[in-house]
Chains A and B, each alone.
Chain A
Amino acid sequence: MTAAHINGHELCPGNAGTTLLEIVVWTALLAGIGSPAVMGFLTSTRVMSEANGQREVHERARVLIHRMEREIRLAIGTSMETRSDGTALTFTLPLGFTQVGVRAGSAIRYELEIDSGEASNGIDDDGDQLSDEGQLTRTNLVTGERVVLASNLDLAGSSFVKANDTMVLTLSCLGFLRHSGAIIKASRTRTVNPRN
């Protein structure tokens, strides 16, 4: 190979181009170094994604229980009722007070309901990788307004239990990690005393 010349001058002195051998060597080097780097990048992305997924499941459990805890603190204690299987909790919120006591307001029901397409059999019936998952609903029994507060709850690990004057809330949230195929479960338990 010879260097390019114009009017007898060498265009790129000292740069004689790249040989095939050089390209092969460079490619091999890049592949040797780049592959682990790409693999590392992909792995770290996946790990972060899974960590985020786990965090989200825990966050969901925390927020849910915090919200329920706050409302139950406000509830009229004598109105607290739970279903015998621990899947529903009904209470009355106060509307204010009179000279002698609290004035009753809306009756509220929290309920753990199994997802449609799922059955309580330990099997993933609806093919969403989660088995026996359900949702938490809040219904205002006076107005009939019903809101789904959360889905993907582990119903077997969630319950509302009344113990004397206190309420023990346990909520277990489920999450499916796409990359690893793992199922994450985050549980939170709170004992709450209704203040009214």
Chain B
Amino acid sequence: MLVLFMVLMFLAGHFAVLQKSQQQSAFFLGRSDLYQYAESGLALGIHDLQHNQSGHRGNIGTERWTPLSDVGRDGVLGTLDEGEQDAIPTPGEPNVQPAAVGPDGSGLGLLVSVHPTPYVGVFLLVSTCIGRDSYVTIERVYAANPLKVTSGSALSVAPETRLLFNGIREARKQETRKPGGGAPLAAALSSAAKAVSTFLLDGADHDISGALNKDGAAVFGIVTRPGDSDGTNKAVILSQIPEEAHVRILGSGGPPSVGESPDCEAEKVYNLLKEHVTERLSPGNHQNLVLSPQAAGQLPVALVEGDLDLGGVSAGTGALLVEGSFTVSGAFSFQGLVVVRGDVELDKATGGVQILGALMADGSSIAFGGSTKILYSSAALLSLEQSITRGRSYSPIYYNER
């Protein structure tokens, strides 16, 4: 009996030691799993933030959590327990419902929450994976990747685009048809000057209200891509601008302010913005079109996969992408970026055209009317860049474990 007892003791001791070792090993392995699931949570959160498929903007299991819910693990305010007043959802707090993850029966839960940071376009994602006997919380800061939506000019054109200053041409034609008679040259020039009196391509920086921003850097009034040698394409553009219009093309190095930039790529910007389209308009004529923000800080990116003819009084903000030609036959006022892949006809506008931001076009021609105003505004373009979150890519910039 005694020997049997001793053998049992021996076995029990061995079992206890083995079990303790296994428990520790399982704990560390389990924690390693928790980290992996928590990292998956970050990936899910950022994907949802990009595409907002769930409608919860990256939050998983924490959609209803508010700062008032921040009472800690025990769910009781004022005990200063773990997680209380730490500004992130903690398991055990009200309005927190972990989403099940892992194999069936694993009992693992996941919480992901998205928080703003002091920086624009930078978000903090916190992911917590809850296991049976412990949980891990990791956090990662993501910054929206830069979205350059303009080459830095009031008007960007392709080198082969013909610039048509129709009002001025017409005045000149009238003058040449009446040599020595009718309106004298001075009067004809006066007529031409009148035609361009409100025409303005201004690369000076303007604020959102359209007023000059004295602190902003001026860009070119017109910019095009460089040719085989520097200045070739610039000369082509310059040759198309009547002298009378020179003083109305302002900006860096002007008047007339014309330059070259390798970033002048309407197609590139068009394709970039196309990935972030928020509304699609049918091609054809639109009367009194209004493009307004869908939500605070969310500017529309409108796409027309064809020709667009705007009649009546149209206005908008954000980005307008036109696959075909763009004609304004009424009045048009826009704050943001207009990108046109086809011809642009602004000379038919009966009520004037004002674009506060920039226009990019790489069709075969642009016809300006006497009342065309394109005022560069870095603020308007920045607002557009910052408002684009849907489909926006993010880069991780910081990682931490709590």
Q: Do A and B come from one complex?
A: yes
Chain A positions near chain B (C-beta within 8 angstroms) = 33-34, 36-37, 40-41, 43-44, 47-48, 51-52, 55, 58-59, 62, 66, 70, 73-74, 94, 96-102, 195-196
Q: Assuming A40-B6, A97-B141, is B400 touching A70 (CB within 8 A)?
A: no
Asked if residues A48 and B398 are in contact (CB atoms below 8 Å), the reply is no
Nearest neighbor of B398 in chain A, beta-carbon distance:
A97
Asked if residues B401 and A70 are in contact (CB atoms below 8 Å), the reply is yes
Task: Specify which of A44, A96, A98 is in contact with B6 (CB 8 Å cutoff).
Answer: A44
Asked if residues A44 and B10 are in contact (CB atoms below 8 Å), the reply is yes
Nearest neighbor of B141 in chain A, beta-carbon distance:
A97
Bound CA–CA A71/B117 (angstroms): 24
* Known pairs A97-B122, A195-B140 / 19 extra A-B pairs, C-beta < 8 Å: A33-B3, A36-B3, A37-B3, A37-B6, A41-B9, A47-B10, A47-B13, A48-B17, A51-B17, A55-B17, A58-B25, A74-B399, A97-B397, A99-B121, A99-B122, A99-B143, A102-B397, A102-B398, A196-B399
Decide if B169 is an interface residue (CB 8 Å cutoff). no
Q: For the complex, would chain A's binding face be called helix, strand, loop or mixed by DSSP majority?
A: helix
Chain B positions near chain A (C-beta within 8 angstroms) = 2-3, 6-7, 9-10, 13-14, 17-18, 20-21, 24-25, 28, 31, 117, 119-122, 140-141, 143, 396-401
A170 to chain B: closest CB distance in Å? 16
Asked if residues A62 and B28 are in contact (CB atoms below 8 Å), the reply is yes
Asked if residues A52 and B398 are in contact (CB atoms below 8 Å), the reply is no
Bound CA–CA A51/B19 (angstroms): 11
Asked if residues A48 and B2 are in contact (CB atoms below 8 Å), the reply is no
Bound CA–CA A14/B19 (angstroms): 54
Asked if residues B398 and A55 are in contact (CB atoms below 8 Å), the reply is no
The 6 closest A-B pairs by CB, nearest first: A195-B399, A44-B10, A97-B398, A40-B6, A99-B119, A48-B13
A33 to chain B: closest CB distance in Å? 6
Asked if residues B398 and A40 are in contact (CB atoms below 8 Å), the reply is no
Bound CA–CA A40/B5 (angstroms): 10
Task: Specify which of B18, B24, B28 is in contact with A51 (CB 8 Å cutoff).
Answer: B18
Nearest neighbor of B14 in chain A, beta-carbon distance:
A51
Which residues from A are CB-within-8-Å of B400?
74, 94
Bound CA–CA A9/B44 (angstroms): 96
Nearest neighbor of B10 in chain A, beta-carbon distance:
A44
Which residues from B are CB-within-8-Å of A59?
21, 24
Which residues from B are CB-within-8-Å of A36?
3
A19 to chain B: closest CB distance in Å? 26
A186 to chain B: closest CB distance in Å? 11
Asked if residues B21 and A55 are in contact (CB atoms below 8 Å), the reply is yes
A–B Cβ pairs within 8 angstroms, 28 of them: A33-B3, A36-B3, A40-B3, A40-B10, A41-B6, A44-B9, A44-B13, A47-B10, A48-B10, A48-B14, A48-B17, A51-B13, A51-B14, A51-B17, A58-B25, A59-B21, A62-B24, A66-B28, A70-B401, A74-B400, A94-B398, A94-B399, A94-B400, A99-B121, A101-B397, A102-B398, A195-B140, A196-B399
Bound CA–CA A101/B399 (angstroms): 10
A141 to chain B: closest CB distance in Å? 21
Bound CA–CA A97/B124 (angstroms): 11
B203 to chain A: closest CB distance in Å? 27
Which residues from A are CB-within-8-Å of B21?
55, 58-59
Bound CA–CA A55/B143 (angstroms): 45
Which residues from A are CB-within-8-Å of B398?
94, 96-97, 101-102, 196
Which residues from B are CB-within-8-Å of A94?
398-400
Nearest neighbor of A188 in chain B, beta-carbon distance:
B28
Bound CA–CA A74/B17 (angstroms): 34
Which residues from A are CB-within-8-Å of B31?
66
Bound CA–CA A34/B239 (angstroms): 117
B26 to chain A: closest CB distance in Å? 11
Which residues from B are CB-within-8-Å of A51?
13-14, 17-18
Which residues from B are CB-within-8-Å of A74?
399-401
Which residues from B are CB-within-8-Å of A97?
117, 122, 141, 397-398
Asked if residues A47 and B14 are in contact (CB atoms below 8 Å), the reply is yes
Bound CA–CA A55/B120 (angstroms): 51
A29 to chain B: closest CB distance in Å? 12
Nearest neighbor of B122 in chain A, beta-carbon distance:
A99
Bound CA–CA A59/B31 (angstroms): 15
Asked if residues A43 and B10 are in contact (CB atoms below 8 Å), the reply is yes
Which residues from A are CB-within-8-Å of B17?
48, 51-52, 55
B399 to chain A: closest CB distance in Å? 3
Which residues from B are CB-within-8-Å of A62?
24-25, 28
A48 to chain B: closest CB distance in Å? 4
